[in-house]
Structure 1
């Protein structure tokens, strides 16, 4: 039985179709990555599943409970960590967690015990008595995730959980996610950091313009665009456009140019593309520093499926209301 099941969800904001017949499922104790560019509907999907927003049509279930018909049972089964930390800056870490426990109906002693348990688990002992506004970004995010777990949810929604975090703090959040999954929690992760999805997700759903354009494991999606990527770095930057055209011709896919590294690349269906590109470059007299094949990245999958690269921003149609929704999520 799927922990999360979504069938034909649709939602409009005025004339803007945010979701159109979206469907997917998540297995128990796994991470389902929900990917998509600006305005694809990721946050709208999370808000519907977490009972903060009603769909116009379609159905969804969390732990077998109908999201629209049994919202009270769904809320008891889920936790939500949004794009922005929802902790009270003027309370200590411990008091934030105790407050959540009391709001969830725990007796005072039970709320205090659960707060202490989470403080230890998330390694916040040294800062537990300090006001949250003194916390670093990584500590605030750990506290935010801890607050989402006070009610012991079986399903956790992580909506862009590492946005704005430095690499070290992001790695800390990744470790927390792995630990939660090891404990049997099902995680729905929305992210535009494709490296993050590649590291954490067991299964992926790619949204574009409110529709599901692909589903599968990271390996399956990479194989969908050939599984390999052809890349070259030439000596003469003035001939980049010409080299990119040769890469596109050899692979049959749009070539991209990384302005920072000078690398030109595109998904490749097989090793024949390497031979074809080598011949074209040599015939044109274009010298190169490096040329080779590597495994395709999710960023290249994203480009192939949506027509553009990932961006580190929130869903445009969701952004107006997302902040208010997250503040009320718990």
Structure 2
């Protein structure tokens, strides 16, 4: 059987970013400032992209020498492994935003199903990180995805489908994991060398936790601003402004599938910005809302266009090695025995 080209896990960032754009348009539509159909069409495109990427990834696994070994190697990859959670988080978000308004029963069931799977995968990653100690220099903001993004998006989804106690529990999961992992990840970024170029787009993910937490809390507590929203906005503003200093880093990057790290993060910031403008209604707030949605649409649309061009030119998939690479052997932690003491 002819082997299918390896599909990197960061390809699941494509439907995830499109779902984020659909959410931003849906938020604007909820305030009656945009047609609901725009967000719904984008969510449909995101769903189609998830199916295509998922099918391509399964085809790659199906033609590997060992399906289980290939899948295990992806999950254990210290750089790409956490991105596997996007395969579960994206359909959970799509079910809550796109399916539930039209088919409440089916939308709730699918949201709950992927919520459970997201929590289980996040728990597996947490246990794996405890069992096999992490190399601090290998971690990056993508480590937010399995538990922080998973928990907070699960909270938002549960709130949207009317399961508010579950939403509160998921909010607690996401926020507490954010506190723990956020300290670890930011410490690594502050005190260790800069991330390698392939992982530098994940720096944009630093703006996402506060924005996603804000969207979740807004839906949980009844669409109003309160002290929790203000606290999240303060930290979120810091992380957004910090990105300005990273512009020289971003300008040096070449386009890869990892560029999609920018999409959902800024779509979430855009959506929470629309919420704040609607709730506070400063002078010209509707103009600012349209500027925000236009900017993020151009950003994600531009990345999408570059992706299509790269696919047509055969430049998106990583180059395949001429000879099969031997996967590194991951030694188990050594447990001292009685013979070691001799």
TM-score per shorter chain, which class? Answer: under 0.3
| Higher normalized helix content (fraction of residues) | 2
| Higher normalized strand content (fraction of residues) | 1
Q: Which of the pair has more CA radius of gyration?
A: 1
What is the TM-score when the length of structure 2 is the normalising length? 0.27
